[in-house]
Structure 1
Amino acid sequence: VLRFPAGQLPPVSEFWSITMYSLPQRLLVANPINRYSIGDRTEGLKLGADGSLEIYLQHENPGPKKVSNWLPAPAGPFFFVGRLYGPGQSALSGQWQLPALQERP
């Protein structure tokens, strides 16, 4: 899970995205929902009750209540790239950083 606490979404003037790639091929990941990236332009993203945003980077569908925030991953190794278009000063200075992935049971 990539969790952005409330008020801590990427500081951009344009848009941001997270794109999934398989390893070792370094290719986009074919998946049943045809989603290769997720970001602020993704329709239907759901914030938590506390205003946080959780993105599920995993191979298996996380279920109907979470699928809107799912970025499908391959069954094996992967990497993702976070892109900030029009990054704010806090991102440029390193004050804001992409959160670390959290493993959830």
Structure 2
Amino acid sequence: MASGETLDEFAGKLGAMAARFAGLGSTLEDAAMVKKLLDCVPDRLYAAVAEMEQFCNLETLLFDDARGRLKAFDERLRRRGQADGRRADGQLMYTAEQWRARERC
């Protein structure tokens, strides 16, 4: 996935690739498309990828389901303003231990 490319744009490219395979008389299975999608996501979505690898059977997971899970996770990160590990106001978030130490002062 290119740095400025959205998840939908990349998924569209994979869909076009599957259509080209079909035009050549072959099929590109959902499992192969899911693997390609999960291998190419940006770092901010790795938590969602790990969740799918742990709790889903990637051999039977549909491409649209995988894309939907990634998109929902990405939207949640953006809504909370934490796409890069920072809060929406630009401050870093504290760990629980750091917060308790800060409160003691």
Q: Same fold (TM over 0.5)?
A: no
More helix by share: 2
TM-score range, shorter chain: under 0.3
Give the structure-1-normalised TM-score: 0.25
Query: Which of the pair has the greater relative contact order for Cα pairs under 8 Å at 6+ separation?
Result: 1
More strand by share: 1
